[in-house]
Structure 1
Amino acid sequence: MSQRTKEHIRRWIFGLPMAVWVTCLTTVCLAATSLFLYVNTNLVTITNSDGQKTVVFAQTIDKRLLVREIADMRCSEDDIITYDQAKHGYGELHVEHAFPVTISVDGEKITENLIECTVADALDIMGVTLSGDDYTEPALTAKIESASSIAVHRVTYNDYTKNETVPFETQYQYTSLFYRSPERKMVMQNGADGVINAKLRDKVVDGEIVETSVIEDYGSTEAVPEIIKVYGEGAAVSSMTAPEGVTLDENGIPTQYSAVLTMKATGYYSAAGKGASGLGLSYGTFAVDPKVIPYGTRVYIASADGKFVYGWAMPTDTGSFIHTNNMQVDLFYETYEESYINAVQEVKVYIVG
């Protein structure tokens, strides 16, 4: 370009009106501003673990400033903020809120703000270690998703040898058979002390014994309880229970039955173990004329005044008395003394089935 041409252009430029200059400068500034905003402004989608979501335009890259002031969301120093800028001008920011987690261990409480993790993670973060059979509640694999408490239980074991006598206990059985002499007591089984001679192990959790087990036995014997039979008002001799579906009144007498027989009741004892029917003999079985009450029939036996209750029973034997009185039942007892105490009394026999 010649000097003359350059001079011509210079004179043309400086000869432009002021309005043109202003317009040009304004256009340049706007373009520069737009370019600056394009380069430095981001469209950011902000979400958090509370389920909130918002979209903002922001120039700052300070993540906490974005959350607190621009998005107006809560954010603490312990919250975890992740920012993913997929491409220029657009990004996704997520706030995972921390929550307090308290660990109770060794008589102390430790609290820190954590985000979602497992119990094992929480212990690791807070510097709590387990050893041996120590355990936690909740379990180590349990997830923590909100403010929570974790209990650490310390487990230790104590081994020792024990050699001592174990006194027998006294157990009581109740029967209405003694209604004539309520003060009567009958020893059904003599008690015998036991002996512990063994190596034992106590399991201790947080300082308290929760379980004792035998590691090695050197000849221990269990105590044998003393069993005493005493009077109990309305207590049945038999341990049999009512057939399924049978309803009882307030005195335990069946409300559903096919017949009620008034019979003479005696008592008997036999070491044979089986009755004439081939079925066993025990409390709750009795002898009767099978033509009157067939073997295996379920009945309920009690005196009319309710003072004596034999209870639910089933005939399994036949007595010689049927030749002289077929309206008699002979109630079985597992001791001769009880059969003697029964004597002779009138009872009602409710035939159920």
Structure 2
Amino acid sequence: MMQASKQNRRRIVAALRTTNHRMHIESQVNQMHMTGKTLIVLGAVFTVGLGTASTVIATTQNAVVTKNGETQKLYMLTSDDTSDILKSAGVRAGHGDLVLRSTNAQGSIEVNVRTAYPVDVLADGSTKQVTAHFGDTVRDVLQEAGVALGPVDTVNVPLDQPVTENTKLRICRNHIVTVKADGVSTQVVAATDTPAQQAVQRAGVTLSKEDELAEGTDQTITVNRVTYKDEVLSETIPFETVTEEDDGLLVGESQVKAAGTNGSKKVVRRTKFVNGKAASTSVVSTEVVKNAVDRVVVKGTKERPQEAEESRSAESSSASSQQSANGLSYSRVLTGKCTAYTGGGVTATGVSAAVGRVAVDPNEIPYGTRLYIASPDGSYVYGYAVAADTGGFVYSSSTMADLYMDTQAECENFGRRTMNIYILD
């Protein structure tokens, strides 16, 4: 019996030595493979038979299992397989979940499970979906998505905030805008698609409804202050000359049926000022105050007898003979070029310049001479007039008379024409 006891003790010692050797090997393997966060699945548990009774000695270990920040400890585990450890902890790792395993300083196994979930990243007009894990921050996700942020770009979630399931990240591309207003430049951060008016308001600039914005190619917005000023003016409406035919008058004869009068209108002109400087002027309204009355000239259509025509020609050559035209008695008729002038003032005879008071060469037509002036064909009738002024043409041209008119437009319309000047009796 004593001999048998010694033999059993030797078998137990040998078994223990073998077991210790294998545990030493396991320790070395753990040290080699557990240094990084790597999923390691170990082999089966070693068992050693002791004596004829086949006594089993199993290795036991402790573990710390963490899932999404919640930790639990397990003791006296008979298997160090990661799947078995998670099963013992009642923790399930889904598809895409991150499982990290390591060994702490006390020799316990640490298994960290981080749940995977998709995160949408909207940037530069497109959406990219990346897989994030529990604990990942917005910064981590953007790096995973390959999205780089500019110096003034913004994200709808803080960069250091952990993402959660169904998180949607939106990147806003921004740039610096310079707003120029009232001599001051202000820089603001605005999104690429920010309206100019919103950027200006962000700069603290108040806009009126008339102000205008000018956007430059260098990310500048200039505020142009716009004001308007209205001016009320009175303008002349020139009368027009209308010709009527009368078979009671001979061809070449004409009469002024109505002298004609100018009208007037009230015109409102609006001037636009940009930053205090006049930029443009436009007419905003026109109101007729007085209508113009047409000058009506009656033109003869009756054929002149041949004898009378010859007699008229003969009489025209005699300055002293009595003649008549358009029912008027005149001593002679002068035919030559006439011009027109306006502008008011006082004539050489001391009276005010007015329609019907014409400038002549007093050596040819004395002051005070009554006149009747019309074109030879009767198409233009100036009408009755009196020699009241000296024309500036006396020493420089062959002009016969300068006819006074109310407006510059009438003068320009008249120009320089051949006219008959009848010296009335």
Q: TM-score, normalised by structure 2?
A: 0.31
Q: Which has the larger radius of gyration?
A: 2
Q: TM-score, normalised by structure 1?
A: 0.36
The structure, 1 or 2, with the larger RCO (C-alpha pairs under 8 Å, 6+ apart) is 1
